[in-house]
Every structure is written in C-alpha cells, then in structure tokens.
Chains A and B, each alone.
Chain A
Amino acid sequence: MILQNDTPNIDPFRFLGKDGEAAEIIRTYDWSSTPLGRVEEWPPCLRTSTALLLQSPVPIVMLWGEEGVMIYNDAYSVFAGSRHPALFGSNVREGWAEIVDFNDNVMKVGLAGGTLAYRDQELTLHRKGFPEQVWMDLDYSPVLDEEGKPAGVIAIVVETTERVLAERRNREEYERLQNLFSQAPTFMAMTSGPEHTFEMVNPEYQTLVGDRQVVGKTLVDAMPEIAKQGYLDLMDDVFKTGKTVRRAAERVMFARTKDAPLVERYVDFVYQPIRDERGAVVSIFTQGSDVTERVRAENHQKLLINELNHRVKNTLTSIQSIVTQTLRGVQTREEASKAITNRILALSRAHNVLTAENWDGAELRAMVVSSLEAFQVESREAIRINGPDLRVGPHAAMSIALALHELATNAAKYGALSFSDGSVDVSWQLLGDKFELDWIERDGPTVVPGDRKGFGSRLLLQVLPLELQGTATIDYRPDGVAFNFATSLEAVNDRPALEGV
C-alpha cells in the first residue's frame, strides 16, 4: 500500500494491456467491495489471467475464489445479453441464479483442480428477461495461484444454440420425410449409384415386390425378374441421361414368393433422377401406384361391353333368321305376322329367364314354365310339367325354350292343345350322365307329319340335336305327338360365354 502510494504516476491497470468495454469496467469497478479486493492488491496470477482473457476473441469468463467472482471479456458480454454489465464482478451463483446447481458443480470441480467439458450443453437462461433455451460448448479449467493451488476457474463459452436448432430442424425434417415415406399410399424406393442399390423402400413398395430383402442390394441381385423385364435398361437410361421416365398402367410380373409363379400387377410409376450439388445424377427415386384392380375392372368392363354388343348382334341375327325362315313357310301375310311375333316373344321370354340369372344358366323348370305359360289353358292343367331340379347352361336353356315353343305352337294348332280335353306331359329325367326330355300329347287328334323342311321340324329334328349333341325323335301316335330328345348331361351343362372373366 505504501509502495503504491509512493509511486502515484504508475497506472495500476497497466497490466490489462488492452482498451475495451470490459477493460473499462475493470478500471472503474469498486473491487474493494468484492472478495478480490483492490486491484493494486491482486496477486500476479489473477492479473495475468485477467489480461489473458481480455486479449481473447473467444468468449471467456473467469470465476475467482470460492465465491466465483466473475471477470469476463467483451466477447462474453455479448453472450451475457442484458445481464451485462451488472453481471460483471458478481458471484457466479448469484449472477446466474437460474443455474446455480450447474455452477456449484463447476466451482467444486474446478477448485479441486479438475476440468469439465460440455458439448451442446442445454441450459435455460434468463439473460433477456424471459426463460430461454440455449445450447453451449463449455470448457472449464482451474487457474492456479503462485503456490500452484486452484484459485479460480476459467470457462470458455461458445454458444451453439443456432447450430443445435438448425440441426434439430434438419432432423425433424428428415423424420417428417421418413414418416411421409413410410405412410405414403404410393410405393417409393430410393436407389443409388449406377448399379441401382436400394437405399430405402417404403412399406407399400415392399408389398408390391413381396416379402424379400432389397435394401442394400442392387436391382439385379434384389429383383432379377424385374431387371430382366427391361427395367434395368430403363433405370440405366435415367441414370445416364438424367431424364425422368413416366409409365402408366404397365404390366409387370413380380416374383413375390420364392419358387412360386410370377404375379401380374399393373403399375403407374415415375423414375426420377436425383442430382448432387454439381448436377450429376447420383440416385433414382421410384414412386408409383399399384393400379391392378383398376386396370382389371376396366378390362372387365370392356369385355362386358364387347359381350353385350356381341349378344345384341347375335339376337338381331336370330331375329333375321326367324323372319326369313318364317316367311318361307307361310301362305298369308297374317299367318307370317303372327308366327314371327310369337317366335320373337318366345326368344324374348327365354332372354328374360337368362337375364335374371346373369346369362349364367337357368333352372330348367323355370325355363320350361316360362316358354309354355302362353299355351296353358285356363281352368285346367292342360300342360303338366315334371322333372327333377336341374341347372342347365345358357345355350341349352335357350335351345330347349325355342324347341318347346315350336312343339307347343304345333300342338295348339293341330295337336292335343287344339282339343278341349287334350293335354301334354312335359318331363325330363336324368339317368346317370344321360339327360332325356319328353313331350307327350294325349287325347288329341291323330296328327299327320308336317313338312320336314318347315322351320319347326328343322329346329326340332336337325338343329337341336346338333346344338346339344343328342338325338331327337318324333312319333306320330294315334292320340298325339310324342317327341323325345336325349343327350348327355354334359351337353346341357354348357358353360357360360363369359367363363373365366
């Protein structure tokens, strides 16, 4: 003290060696109110350390003594925010009251001669008057006094909040993309390199290609059947030219299960080249939808429309046949008109029964009843129908309906149904794989055989046996006509035109 008083011209702060805000505070601060005491009494180690941190462009704070009195540089004051300058010279536990436990540990370790290092340490600070989440890289080391004993702790403080938040945003973005990827309703895959190595596939993609490991493998190794179908060349092309490829409703065969037949799927997809910063293609992003069900439905619809057109054209041709043939065998215009109308109605009734069954076939009884309804006589059962339940194919149903119409028309004109007590027994039976249909007229007049070239005779005796691969016989008995048709059960069970659709 005396020494200093004796040398009044010497600046006691000359050791600071630097001008600046922090240096100015040190000069004007009332250090005697702190445990450090007047600057003139500071030990050399404190002076040297203070000068050292003031010179540094890195934010540094020194916590001196048991109390941790804070001395920091200009860089640190920026970090301290509105705490500065009140923070200067305060005890660290009071200055940063919100993290007293953290600093308590720092002081304990530092003054025991230990060091501490934190990377992206998360702390909540109140430096702007409100709680704030911050991240810091913190490095603590002891400052030794002249005896080599720890007298304080020096901390290098680098705030990393911005970087941590940026990284967090990136990570969240990545996770969001991952999420999108895995929950996308479309299939997605990322392949990299000229060999197209799978980096990532989403669950939809896995569903498309089947349960097999593809990530980490090249296209050729992971899905050889796909590579062979031209997709290796296509991806090579995308990789080389950098041009996006789009395909719609493409038929692709997948080996979904090992050693099982390939599975047909229709897919809409895009191969999109992914470029690096220099513009070179490094990956291909595959994205698309399995549109198999839609394509199949469209094909089915096309087929149905086609089939409908076919049916209409065939029906028109049937009408043409009825008209031209009826006209050949009639004498008068009235007779022609009536016969044509009745035959068209017979055709129409058969269509009704078949349409009700989606042209898939018909119950034989329903078909027989429908064809003969118009010929039934009121008040008595002139036509008796007997036979087991039997489902017949659409061709057989139509043929039998037309045949019965011809038989009934003749019976009503010349046969049993033209007599007041005449009747007909229509019956069918199955004998093993044989099918037989009988039309037996009773109590009618004796009928003389008609023109064998007439429409009815031709249909019953020549064409029906060809259509249903059987034999037809007609017997002109004294009390009425007996018609028998025999064929195989298989022949009347013909399959519908749309089988396999």
Chain B
Amino acid sequence: MARVLIVEDEMLVAMLIEDVIVDLGHEVVGPAMRLETALEVVEAENVDFAILDINLAGKQSFPVADRLADLGVPFIFASGYGAAGLNERHRQAQVVQKPFAPDQIASLLERL
C-alpha cells in the first residue's frame, strides 16, 4: 500500500481520483486543492507517489513537482492540457490526459 498525494483543484475530479486510489488499495493524502496547501502537505507528510493537476486555480503546480523531484518522490501529472502543458524541467514527466481510465493510474502505480 502506498501513500498517494492528490493535488487537484476541482472538487468532482478530486473525488474521482480519490476513489480510484482507494479502489486500488492505496491511501490518499489530501487532496490538496491549492498550490500553497500542496506545498505544505509535501513538507508535512510522507508521500510515496503523487498525482498532480497542472493548473491549480490559476497557478501552476510546478513548484510542487520541483519539490517532489528534489525529495525523490515519483509523480505523474494528470491534466486536461496533456503533455503540452509541461514546463522545461518536467518535459519528460509522465502525463495522464484527463479524462482517464482507472487502469491508466493503476498501471503507473504498479510500476513503482
């Protein structure tokens, strides 16, 4: 069982990802729905994996990705922008295009 951080600013989508993670037998951290909250959670909690939305109420989530990368925590982006929304540093990061099938998340988590 892994502790999975969810960073997602839309309620309905956050609930969906939460369900997917719980159904896969993992524990949810968050969801953190704003950049500031997400940064606090990354510092305060032990996290094994993270799923990041790119746009958090008008702010980009890259500072969270930067911190996770520094800490060596694997993460993926889940975004309506797809890979086009990524910045230079995270160009190579895994991206799940929204909407997604639970299997996509499952297979990414299994690779851990």
Contacts and interface: CB of A to CB of B under 8 A. Distances in A.
Contact of B81 (A310, A316, A402): A310
Contact of A317 (B32, B34, B99): B99
A399 interface: yes
Contacts, number: 93
A320 B10 CA distance: 13
Interface of A: 306, 309-314, 316-322, 324-325, 328, 347, 393, 395, 398-399, 402, 455, 458-459, 463-464, 466-467, 469, 494-499
B61 interface: no
B85 to A, nearest CB: 8
B15 A313 contact: no
A309 B80 contact: yes
Given A395-B9, A494-B57, A463 B80 contact: no
Given A317-B12, A317-B99, A463-B14, 18 more contacts: A310-B80, A313-B80, A313-B98, A314-B80, A317-B13, A320-B16, A321-B13, A325-B16, A455-B15, A458-B15, A459-B11, A459-B12, A466-B33, A466-B37, A494-B58, A497-B57, A497-B58, A498-B58
Interface string B28-58: 0011111001000000000000000001011
Interface string B69-112: 00000000001110011000000000001111000000000000
B105 to A, nearest CB: 13
B19 interface: yes
B71 to A, nearest CB: 22
Contacts of B84: 306
Q: Which of the four size classes fits the interface of chain B?
A: 20 to 34
15 contacts: A310-B55, A310-B79, A312-B80, A313-B80, A317-B12, A317-B80, A317-B99, A317-B100, A321-B12, A324-B16, A325-B16, A393-B57, A398-B11, A464-B11, A467-B9
* Residue from B9, B10, B97 whose CB has the most chain A CB atoms within 10 Å: B10
Contacts of A499: 58
A322 B12 contact: yes
A463 B81 CA distance: 23
Nearest to A402: B11
Nearest to A463: B11
Contacts of A458: 15
Given A469-B34, A469-B37, A494-B58, A314 B98 contact: yes
- For the complex, would chain B's binding face be called helix, strand, loop or mixed by DSSP majority? mixed
A328 B97 CA distance: 24
A311 B10 contact: no
A311 B15 CA distance: 18
Contacts of B55: 310, 497
Contacts of A311: 80
Contacts of B30: 466
A320 B14 CA distance: 12
Contact of B10 (A306, A318, A328): A318
Contacts of B31: 463, 466
A459 B19 CA distance: 13
Given A314-B80, A321-B16, A494-B57, A467 B11 contact: yes
A495 B57 contact: yes
A309 B19 contact: no
Contacts of A322: 12
A463 B15 contact: yes
B57 A318 contact: no
* Residue from A310, A317, A321, A464 whose CB has the most chain B CB atoms within 10 Å: A317
Nearest to B14: A463
Interface string B1-22: 0000000011111111001000
Contact of B15 (A309, A325, A494, A497): A325
Please name the 3 residue pairs, one residue from A and one from B, whose CB atoms are nearest each other, closest first: A313-B80, A321-B16, A310-B80
Contacts of B58: 494-499
B103 to A, nearest CB: 13
A428 B14 CA distance: 26
A437 to B, nearest CB: 15
A319 B80 CA distance: 14
A467 B10 CA distance: 7
Nearest to A396: B57
Contacts of B9: 395, 467
Given A306-B84, A320-B99, A469-B34, A314 B10 contact: yes
A246 B47 CA distance: 52
A29 to B, nearest CB: 100
* Residue from A320, A322, A347, A495 whose CB has the most chain B CB atoms within 10 Å: A320
Contact of B98 (A316, A393, A497): A316
* Residue from A318, A319, A459 whose CB has the most chain B CB atoms within 10 Å: A318
B53 to A, nearest CB: 9
* Residue from B13, B31, B84 whose CB has the most chain A CB atoms within 10 Å: B13
Contacts of A393: 57
B14 A466 contact: yes
A72 B34 CA distance: 105
B99 A313 contact: yes
B31 to A, nearest CB: 6
A399 B13 contact: no
B14 A313 contact: no
A466 B85 CA distance: 25
